[in-house]
């Protein structure tokens, strides 16, 4: 008998509006008959979409934390009806909920996770992205924007979280861990990188392979790439931007040279490999349930594909099987 799952979805926060997220919820319900959804957001809007009420629960929370708001101040707001906080709270309370999907404010999602979903070790969660690399495997980039100001011991903790994740989900016995820097030499990097390097070198349980420059971040030379949130986010955004720019230029070249059919095939291959809607979301490592952070530009397919990721994890498969 197929196991039943409940997933909590924050319907607010996407640049494309709640309608795009609710359309994603519809796709999930159509494709996964064993999945029920808890939808958090504007109750009237959710009800107007004609979704099967026997498979959804609605929690009314019509406000969203914007990029101009303080996540901590919003959390302690006495009129707290912010969807992201209510969604994380519900995920923590519902024993049947396996995880939460949100495309809202990353800082707010972290604050909610710290309040409602800390694991038994009480460690600070880190936001990781699983990215395709040149070796046709995947690299776990951690952190990608949840923790901007970090200390060396926190980066060491990120290394442990990434190692544990890649060992569990990708069955890599001894994941290679690298530190993002502006040079491969141990003497390169800012103060944070220079202080973290010797700690990782002697840390038990970490297979540290040294520094890696940004140009080789997705070379396949490591399984886990550790960075503080600002630098990690730049790697993530630059990778996405370069993939989009490359596809655009290939299509332009095809039109200019009359080789559109061939360039479409090339562009299609790149899009399939680096389709960020297909990759779905980042994952908050260190939480006691799965917290999935979609990009702010996420649409319906990102919600559906992130659901697939969650189900794969629950079935002890890798992210993209």
Give the model confidence (pLDDT) of 62-110 as tens digits: 999 988 889 999 999 877 789 999 999 999 999 999 999 999 999 999 9
Residues 6+ apart with CB under 8 A from 162: 126, 128, 140, 142, 175, 177, 223, 224, 225, 226, 285
So what's the pLDDT on residue 277?
Answer: 52
Same domain, 244 and 291: no
Same domain, 294 and 270: no
**What are 236's two structure tokens?**
């993530």
Same domain, 137 and 14: no
Same domain, 267 and 134: yes
Q: Is the pLDDT of residue 320 over 70?
A: no
Same domain, 3 and 88: yes
CA gyration radius for the chain?
20
E strands, 81-175, in order:
97-102, 126-132, 138-142
Task: Name the helix (H) or strand (E) containing 39.
Answer: strand 35-41
The residue segments making up the domain with residue 33 are 1-118+287-321
Same domain, 17 and 147: no
Average pLDDT over residues 20-47: 96
> Which is nearest to 101 in space by CA: 88, 112, 89, 114?
88
Mean pLDDT across the chain: 89
Same domain, 163 and 237: yes
User: Is cis: bond before 79, omega within 30 of 0?
Assistant: no
At 321, is the pLDDT very low, low, confident or very high (cuts 50, 70, 90)? low
So what's the pLDDT on residue 317?
Answer: 65
Same domain, 249 and 311: no
Nearest 10 degrees: Cα torsion 225, 230, 234, 237? 100
Domain count for the chain? 2
Same domain, 270 and 309: no
Same domain, 186 and 268: yes
Give the model confidence (pLDDT) of 277-286 as tens digits: 555 578 999 8
CATH of the domain at 269: 3.40.718.10
Same domain, 103 and 152: no
At 111, is the pLDDT very low, low, confident or very high (cuts 50, 70, 90)? very high
Same domain, 232 and 294: no
The answer to whether the CB of 222 falls within 8 A of the CB of 208 is: no
């Amino acid at each position: 008998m197929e196991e039943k799952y409940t997933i909590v979805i924050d319907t607010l926060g996407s640049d494309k509006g709640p309608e795009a997220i609710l359309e994603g919820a519809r796709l999930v319900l159509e494709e996964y008959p064993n999945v029920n959804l808890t939808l958090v957001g504007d109750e009237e809007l959710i009800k107007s979409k004609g979704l099967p009420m026997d498979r959804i629960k609605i929690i009314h929370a019509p406000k969203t934390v914007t990029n101009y708001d303080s996540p901590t101040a919003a959390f302690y707001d006495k009129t707290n009806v912010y969807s992201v906080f209510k969604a994380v709270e519900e995920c923590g309370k519902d024993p049947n909920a396996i995880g939460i999907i949100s495309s809202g404010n990353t800082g707010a999602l972290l604050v909610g996770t710290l309040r409602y979903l800390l694991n038994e070790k009480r460690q600070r969660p880190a936001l990781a992205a699983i990215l395709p690399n040149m070796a046709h495997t995947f690299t776990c980039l951690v952190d990608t924007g949840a923790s901007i100001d970090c200390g060396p011991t926190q980066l060491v903790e990120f290394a442990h979280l990434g190692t544990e994740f890649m060992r569990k989900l990708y069955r890599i016995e001894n994941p290679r861990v690298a530190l993002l820097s502006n040079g491969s030499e141990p003497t390169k990097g800012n103060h944070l990188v220079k202080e973290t390097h010797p700690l990782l070198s002697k840390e038990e349980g970490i297979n540290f392979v040294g520094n890696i420059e940004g140009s080789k971040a997705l070379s396949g030379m490591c399984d886990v790439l550790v960075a503080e949130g600002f630098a990690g986010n730049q790697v993530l955004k630059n990778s996405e931007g370069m993939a989009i720019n490359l596809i655009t230029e290939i299509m332009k070249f095809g039109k200019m040279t009359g080789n559109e059919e061939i360039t479409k095939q090339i562009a299609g291959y790149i899009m399939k490999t680096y389709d960020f809607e297909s990759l779905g979301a980042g994952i908050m490592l260190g939480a006691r349930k799965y917290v999935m952070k979609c990009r702010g530009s996420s649409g319906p397919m990102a919600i559906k594909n992130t659901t697939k990721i969650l189900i794969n994890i629950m079935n002890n498969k890798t992210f993209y099987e």
